[in-house]
A and B are shown apart, each in its own frame.
Chain A
Amino acid sequence: MALPKRIIKETERLMAEPVKGISAVPHEDNLRYFDVTIDGPGQSPYEGGVFKLELFLPDDYPMTPPKIRFLTKIYHPNIDRLGRICLDVLKSNWSPALQIRTILLSIQALLGAPNPDDPLANDVAQKWKEDEKGAIETARQWTEQYAKP
């Protein structure tokens, strides 16, 4: 099946003008399936970590958002134990004007600004609200343990 022009263009641009701290490389045998890495943002408990994700562009992309999940274990109130991400632009606020690039930037921003009021991982969010210092420390430890390149 021919790959839609939109996907080819996005892929080319990701390769030609990579975003700092983010990489997305398509699988040779499935050009809708990308290996992604995101560097943890500075001044966050994820700083210094390199997080692996996987991204898939479904048949009806860009009418529906990409599917994306963390493959590296991460302690974050909006990311669950299976690496699924709670982010409005991946769900109700998706627009075909958004791109792989913008989504990955939004995820990187989410690492810098956890939102415990819209949790996916309830236990993590609760800890974040009750003991933010402790939660941040745990997030830092997990980064050290699981996300070091």
Chain B
Amino acid sequence: MGAKVPRNFRLLEELEKGEKGLGAEACSYGLENGDDLLMSDWNGTILGPPHSVHENRIYSVKIHCGPNYPDVPPEISFTSKINLPCVDQRNGKVDPTKLPCLAQWKREFTMETILIELRRYMAHSANKKLPQPPEGSTY
């Protein structure tokens, strides 16, 4: 086992990867406020997967990394309205028990891991044809 990277340096690594666009093309993320020294609040976007009702839609999410991140997963909520079994329809919050990467969180996982998994979840055969709220509506 290697050195345990502390929260803030881990978040700086994620920030740099996000800024350079080194991550997956269909997802992006960045700090909500560029001078938040605590780096707690992030905005993410997910491009709807092809061959699904989500195709060509862009979904916005908010990510909150608490003081114990990455030992515990961040909190995720959709800003864009979306009909998915793991999303609370009242407020857009992602239920961590219903998304495998959150339910079985590992320290090596990143915000990108979650965004990619959410996108895969949207494309899942059980979810890809669910009726969706009008494009552009928000919680």
Q: Are B4 and A73 in contact (CB under 8 A)?
A: no
B6 x A82 contact (CB < 8 A):
no
Q: Which of B33-69 contact A (CB under 8 A)?
A: 34-37, 39
Report if A51 contacts B (CB, 8 A): no
| Separation of A58 and B5 alpha carbons in the complex (Å) | 7
Count contacts between A and B, CB distance < 8 Å: 41
Interface size class of B (residues with CB under 8 A): 10 to 19
* One of B2, B4, B12 near A84 (C-beta < 8 A): B12
**Quick check: is B22 within 8 A (CB to CB) of the other chain?**
no
Q: Chain A interface residue count: which class? A: 10 to 19
Interface membership of A30, Cβ < 8 A: yes
CB-defined contacts of B126 to chain A, threshold 8 Å: none
Bitwise, A43-75 to B at CB < 8 A (1) or not (0) is 000000000001011110000000101010100
Contact A30 B12 (CB under 8 A): no
Question: Does A76 sit within 8 A of B, measured CB to CB?
Answer: no
* Contact call B3/A58, Cβ cutoff below 8 A: yes
Q: Is A81 an interface residue (CB 8 A)?
A: yes
A56-B9, A67-B9, A69-B12 known; A30 and B4 CB under 8 Å?
yes
A8 vs B9: C-alpha distance when bound (angstroms): 21
Alpha-carbon gap, A1 to B39, bound state (A): 29
In the complex the two chains form, what is the Cα distance from A30 to B10 in whole Å?
14
Most buried by B among A1, A27, A33, A58: A33
Contact of B35 among A30, A67, A81 (CB under 8 A): A81
A82 B9 Cβ-Cβ under 8 A: no
Q: Which residues of A contact B37 (CB under 8 A)?
A: 71, 73, 82-83
Q: Assess A81 versus B6: contact at CB under 8 Å? Given A1-B1, A69-B12.
A: no
A57: B residues at CB distance < 8 A: 3
Most buried by A among B1, B9, B39: B9
Task: Give the residue name and chain of the B residue nearest to A3 (CB).
Answer: B3
> In the docked arrangement, what's the CA distance between A81 and B33, Å?
10
Closest 6 CB pairs of A and B: A81-B35, A59-B2, A59-B3, A33-B6, A56-B9, A32-B3
A56-B6, A56-B9, A82-B39 known; 6 new pairs, CB 8 Å cut-off, are A1-B2, A32-B3, A32-B4, A54-B6, A81-B34, A82-B37
